[in-house]
């Protein structure tokens, strides 16, 4: 029946994830196989998501791609890897007879349009959500089922973790062909309903070293990275899974901070050294440690990816107070912009003790805004045709 | 004859040193035994030195200490360790008969006055020069000879390396009593006459974590530090000695930078993390890498101790150009202060190529001054009585 329509179109969304046991370094550049396993929290798509529409039609002359409404290069090798792999899986499925109902010609060209609902400036790994969304959308389009994280991994390593909701492990695997280097859900997004995630977006210089080039240099030059991957991470991964299963915030928070610091330590041990943390990041780190010291226990934990923005974990009962502490320490500039985005935070009055122990020398304007979110589900199919990013002509809507 | 004078007085000077294979972490807090060997360059006393006068007299009522002209606490445990150990060695020598000529009563109290010719703000390890000078001066006073670096080490670990000029190794040793944890000259200060050393003094916040507390926390919490000490440093030490013996600046410079970065990486892997580098330090690091990339070889190398100030190694033929590059990148504020101190640097005109490749976005006022020096000799006895820091009354001169 779909073959009778001029256009077959599918739209899906996929989430961002933030690693708490970090991935840094590949053992195979081509297949994107990591030197250690990693573990992440999938963030809720109510706040952060990529939406992708893929369409096929006998009328399309060539594969085409639009990113955030702008025409983009579909020839990018990693994107081509994902497309090729998804078409291969679709052919395989058809050959197996399972796809007998799939009416689409695999020879048809595809149009893909993808948008993020968050600015690149947020410094979140948009490529993870982007490739997860691409692979999930193509799978729905071609009727492919089964293990998809392996395909997403070939677009962007961390994308494989965005194929699931909640808490997700990426097992490094052992096979040279990467078939066992896949993501796996540890627990779902409903497991720890009290957990909150804050993204502190820092006003910053542009990222100097991209993560792909950076991690390769680290693998080539850092003696400490090799030791971390072989001797430190395996034990940490086991511990982290236990902390999550037990909803042990102190254990989870402390190990999250340690692993973020160790990742940045291996960046500094790289030659030439790579710095992603800046002086504002350092101030946020010091603030979190003072906050925890004041409370005599770990009530907030930071983690930083390849940029200066902090991602903070805390629990629902601490959210309002911590947000107030951040507002006092990094007062918003009164430029009319919204300082708090995402989930609401209520008012909190800070005790004089807390203020004097934790809030030192405020730095106005150095944090642009705080986005509040929580763990969320994996990729979703959108049923509502009005949400397609491509029109009946197979092109992005003018408004996109 | 000395016994007939009311006062016996000796004045000596001792140098600062800067490690190129870093010491960070003790295996024995009491004896100051390190977890790895280290290697340093002794800086010339024409630019940076501590001067110490020690005097004994039958009239002194108690041991007394003055630092930079101010009365200070002589009861400090590490200072007491050095005093006790020097008196023990003097008694031993007398018991051996070798000190028959030494006329001094070891029961006499001692007055000690010590001054630095550089501000503490320079962030150089003043305790290294200070304890080296104390031990050397007491040795001259009591007529003690032989292995003194072991005593200096008990004042401040890195002080043992200031007991020699040129390039100095501190062998970690193996004995629990520390008798084999001593410094040793690799080559003298005349070995590499072209080498120049620049201290870039950064305008900075006060150091937050002292090195004694910091390194203990690192030993307790950083998995990477343990690996560094056991698996990385031994090989680096061997390489570094070869580079120095061969006057191989590229090898020396690259390994110096790598080891500085690895030391700071282990600080970041400490929990809570320790940061000594700030954004200005990072800018200096990036500048040095751009400078070397422009020249297609390593012509300058940085190292950082427990603070944001950079120490730069370069060769005589590159000095003027590098200084000019620093002046253009971190223009002095016109506050009348002297920007260049120490050895002279000549004028240099930078090519347009170099300027556009290396000097990006100047940051005025972020470097306070540059001190230019070179490798220098070990501790010295001053013969001129007018240089004593204590008067005939055993007290510091009013002008001191």
Whether A329 and A287 have beta carbons less than 8 Å apart is answered as yes
| Conformation bin of residue B336: beta by default, left when phi > 0, alpha when psi is -120 to 50 | left
Where does A103-156 have alpha helices with state H? 126-142, 149-155
Kindly report the average pLDDT of chain A as a whole number.
92
- Count CB-CB contacts under 10 A for residue A163: 32
Q: Closest CB to B275: pick one of A223, A271, A282.
A: A282
Select the more confidently predicted residue: A126 or A344. A344
pLDDT digits over A252-293, tens only? 999 999 999 999 999 999 999 999 999 999 999 999 999 999
Say if residue A76 is in the same domain as residue A222.
no
- Give the pLDDT band (50/70/90) at residue B126: confident
Residue B265 Cα, gap to closest chain A Cα (Å)? 4
Say if residue A40 is in the same domain as residue A181.
yes
Say if residue B137 is in the same domain as residue B221.
no
Residue A19 belongs to some domain of the structure: yes
Q: What is the pLDDT of residue A400?
A: 43
Percentage above 90 pLDDT, chain A: 83
Say if residue B252 is in the same domain as residue B363.
yes
Q: Which residue of B has its CA nearest to A229?
A: B224
Residue B216 Cα, gap to closest chain A Cα (Å)? 17
- Cα(A265)–Cα(A275) distance, rounded to whole angstroms? 9
Are the Cβ atoms of A272 and B282 closer than 8 angstroms?
no
Structure tokens at B338: 């002297």
Q: Which residue of A has its CA nearest to B229?
A: A224
CA nearest to A132, candidates A157, A111, A113, A110: A157
Per CB-CB distance under 8 Å, the chain B contacts of A270 are: 261
Are the Cβ atoms of A269 and B282 closer than 8 angstroms?
no
| Residue for token pair 């933030």 | A18
Q: Which residue of B has its CA nearest to A222?
A: B262
ipTM over 0.90: yes
Residue A395 belongs to some domain of the structure: no
Q: Which residue of B has its CA nearest to A235?
A: B223
Q: Closest CB to B273: pick one of A224, A228, A261.
A: A261
Q: Closest CB to A269: pick one of B261, B270, B279.
A: B261
Per CB-CB distance under 8 Å, the chain B contacts of A224 are: 224, 227-228, 232, 262, 265-266, 269
- Cα(B367)–Cα(B346) distance, rounded to whole angstroms? 19
Angle at A337 between CA A335 and CA A340, to 5 degrees: 130
Residue A155 Cα, gap to closest chain B Cα (Å)? 30
Least confident of A58-67, B5-14, B162-171: B5-14
Are the Cβ atoms of A289 and B272 closer than 8 angstroms?
yes
Residue A259 Cα, gap to closest chain B Cα (Å)? 8
Site from A220, A222, A258, A273 to mutate, B interface, most B CB atoms within 10 angstroms: A273
The CATH number of the domain holding residue A216 is 3.30.70.890
Least confident of B23-32, B111-120, B212-221, B367-376: B111-120
Residue A191: DSSP 8-state? S
Q: Closest CB to A273: pick one of B228, B278, B285.
A: B285
Which residues have CB under 8 Å from B386's CB, separation 6+? none
H/E element, A51: strand A49-57
- Provide the CA B228 distance to its chain's centre, in angstroms: 22
Residue A56 belongs to some domain of the structure: yes
Say if residue A137 is in the same domain as residue A279.
no
- Count CB-CB contacts under 10 A for residue B120: 9
CA nearest to A24, candidates A160, A154, A212: A212
The CATH number of the domain holding residue A49 is 3.30.230.10
DSSP class per residue in B19-53: EEE----EEETTTTEESS-EEEEEBPTTTSEEEEE
Residue A254 Cα, gap to closest chain B Cα (Å)? 9
Residues of A with a Cβ under 8 Å from any B Cβ are 208, 223-224, 227-228, 231-232, 254, 257-258, 261-262, 264-266, 268-273, 275, 278-279, 282, 285, 289
Alpha carbons within 13 angstroms on the beta-carbon side of residue B21 total 29
Q: What is the pLDDT of residue B3?
A: 42
- Provide the CA B309 distance to its chain's centre, in angstroms: 13
Residue A394 belongs to some domain of the structure: no
User: What Å distances lie between residue B275 and B23, B207, B319, CA to CA?
Assistant: 16, 9, 29
- Chain A to chain B, count of Cβ pairs less than 8 Å apart? 74
Q: Closest CB to A278: pick one of B269, B273, B279.
A: B279
For A198, the 3-state DSSP assignment is strand
Pairing type for strands A64-67 and A109-116 reads parallel
Say if residue B256 is in the same domain as residue B314.
yes
- Cα(B269)–Cα(B263) distance, rounded to whole angstroms? 10
Say if residue B216 is in the same domain as residue B327.
yes
Least confident of A95-99, A175-179, B230-234: A95-99
Are the Cβ atoms of A268 and B268 closer than 8 angstroms?
yes
Residue B397 belongs to some domain of the structure: no
Are the Cβ atoms of A266 and B261 closer than 8 angstroms?
no
- Cα(B234)–Cα(B6) distance, rounded to whole angstroms? 51
- Give the pLDDT band (50/70/90) at residue B399: low
Pairing type for strands B367-373 and B340-342 reads parallel
Alpha carbons within 13 angstroms on the beta-carbon side of residue A254 total 13
Say if residue B135 is in the same domain as residue B261.
no
Whether B271 and B202 have beta carbons less than 8 Å apart is answered as no
Least confident of A244-253, B53-62, B66-75, B391-400: B391-400
Site from A21, A218, A223, A283 to mutate, B interface, most B CB atoms within 10 angstroms: A223
- Give the pLDDT band (50/70/90) at residue A5: low
DSSP class per residue in A124-138: --HHHHHHHHHHHHH
* pLDDT of A110 above 50: yes
Angle at B373 between CA B137 and CA B260, to 5 degrees: 90
Whether B371 and B341 have beta carbons less than 8 Å apart is answered as yes
User: What Å distances lie between residue A43 and A97, A162, A167, CA to CA?
Assistant: 37, 9, 9
Say if residue B26 is in the same domain as residue B164.
yes
Angle at B286 between CA B280 and CA B288, to 5 degrees: 105
Say if residue A167 is in the same domain as residue A303.
no
pLDDT digits over A114-138, tens only? 999 887 655 666 799 999 999 999 9
DSSP class per residue in A347-393: --PPPHHHHHHH--S--TTSEEEEEEE-B----EE---GGG-SB-TT
Residue B399 belongs to some domain of the structure: no
Q: What is the pLDDT of residue A126?
A: 79
Residue B93 belongs to some domain of the structure: yes
Structure tokens at B354: 């170099």
Say if residue A235 is in the same domain as residue A350.
yes
Residue A396 belongs to some domain of the structure: no
Site from B226, B250, B265 to mutate, A interface, most A CB atoms within 10 angstroms: B265
pLDDT digits over A14-66, tens only? 999 999 999 999 999 999 999 999 999 999 999 999 999 999 999 999 999 99
DSSP class per residue in B97-113: TTTTT----TTSEEEEE
Q: What is the pLDDT of residue B208?
A: 65
- Cα(B362)–Cα(B329) distance, rounded to whole angstroms? 4
Residue A246 Cα, gap to closest chain B Cα (Å)? 23
Q: What is the pLDDT of residue A1?
A: 39
- Cα(B309)–Cα(B258) distance, rounded to whole angstroms? 17
Are the Cβ atoms of A264 and B268 closer than 8 angstroms?
yes
B/e letters for B307-319, b = 16+ CB within 10 Å, e = fewer, are bbbbbbbbbeebb
What is chain A's Cα-based Rg? 22
Angle at B372 between CA B353 and CA B10, to 5 degrees: 170
Q: Which residue of A has its CA nearest to B205?
A: A279
CA nearest to A31, candidates A95, A83, A78: A78
Residues of B with a Cβ under 8 Å from any A Cβ are 223-224, 227-228, 231-232, 254, 257-258, 261-262, 264-266, 268-273, 275, 278-279, 282, 285-286, 289
Least confident of A14-18, A393-397, B4-8, B98-102: B98-102
Residue B257 Cα, gap to closest chain A Cα (Å)? 8
Structure tokens at B238: 């061997």
- Cα(B18)–Cα(B39) distance, rounded to whole angstroms? 8
- Give the pLDDT band (50/70/90) at residue A74: very high
- Count CB-CB contacts under 10 A for residue A218: 27
Q: Closest CB to A224: pick one of B262, B272, B289.
A: B262
Q: Which residue of A has its CA nearest to B276?
A: A282
Q: What is the pLDDT of residue B237?
A: 98
CA nearest to B130, candidates B41, B238, B214, B51: B51
Site from A266, A272, A363 to mutate, B interface, most B CB atoms within 10 angstroms: A272
Say if residue B182 is in the same domain as residue B279.
no
Give the domain range for residue B329: 195-373
Per CB-CB distance under 8 Å, the chain B contacts of A223 are: 227-228, 231-232, 262
Site from A269, A276, A293, A301 to mutate, B interface, most B CB atoms within 10 angstroms: A269
Pairing type for strands A70-72 and A64-67 reads antiparallel
Q: What is the pLDDT of residue B4?
A: 46
Alpha carbons within 13 angstroms on the beta-carbon side of residue B117 total 17
pLDDT digits over B236-260, tens only? 999 999 999 999 999 999 999 999 9
What's the structural domain count of chain A? 2
Per CB-CB distance under 8 Å, the chain A contacts of B271 are: 254, 257-258, 261
């Amino acid at each position: 029946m779909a073959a009778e329509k001029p256009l077959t179109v599918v739209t899906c969304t996929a989430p961002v994830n933030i690693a708490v046991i970090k991935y840094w370094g590949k053992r195979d550049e081509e297949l994107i196989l990591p030197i250690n396993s990693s573990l992440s929290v999938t963030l809720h798509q109510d706040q952060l998501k990529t939406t992708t529409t893929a369409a096929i039609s006998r009328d399309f002359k060539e594969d085409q791609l639009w990113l955030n409404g702008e025409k983009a290069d579909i020839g990018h090798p990693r994107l081509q890897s994902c497309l090729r792999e998804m078409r291969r899986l679709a052919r395989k499925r058809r050959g197996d007879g399972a796809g007998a109902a799939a009416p689409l010609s695999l020879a048809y060209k595809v149009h893909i349009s993808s948008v993020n609902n968050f600015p690149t400036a947020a410094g979140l790994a948009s490529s993870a959500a982007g490739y997860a969304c691409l692979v999930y959308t193509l799978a729905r389009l071609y009727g492919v089922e089964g293990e998809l994280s392996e395909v997403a991994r070939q677009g962007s390593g961390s994308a494989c973790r965005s194929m699931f909701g909640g808490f997700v492990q990426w097992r490094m695997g052992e096979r040279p062909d990467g078939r066992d280097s896949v993501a796996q859900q540890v627990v779902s997004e409903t497991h720890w309903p009290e957990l909150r995630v804050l993204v502190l977006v820092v006003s910053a210089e542009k990222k100097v070293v991209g993560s792909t080039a950076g991690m390769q240099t680290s693998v080539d030059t850092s003696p400490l990275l090799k030791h971390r991957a072989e001797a430190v991470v395996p034990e940490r991964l086991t511990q982290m899974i236990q902390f999550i299963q037990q909803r042990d915030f102190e254990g989870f928070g402390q190990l999250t901070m340690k692993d973020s610091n160790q990742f940045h330590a291996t960046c500094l041990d790289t030659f030439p050294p790579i710095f992603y943390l800046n002086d504002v990041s350092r101030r946020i780190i010091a603030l979190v440690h003072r906050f925890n010291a004041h409370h005599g226990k770990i009530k907030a934990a930071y983690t930083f990816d390849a940029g200066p923005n902090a991602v903070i974990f805390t629990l629902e009962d601490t959210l309002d107070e911590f947000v107030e502490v951040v507002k006092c320490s990094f007062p918003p500039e009164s430029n009319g912009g919204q300082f708090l985005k995402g989930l609401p935070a209520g008012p909190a009055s800070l005790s004089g003790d807390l203020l004097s122990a934790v809030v030192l020398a405020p730095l106005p304007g150095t944090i642009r805004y705080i986005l509040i979110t929580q763990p969320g589900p994996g990729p979703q199919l959108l049923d509502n045709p009005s949400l397609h990013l491509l029109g009946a002509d197979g092109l992005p809507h003018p408004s996109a």
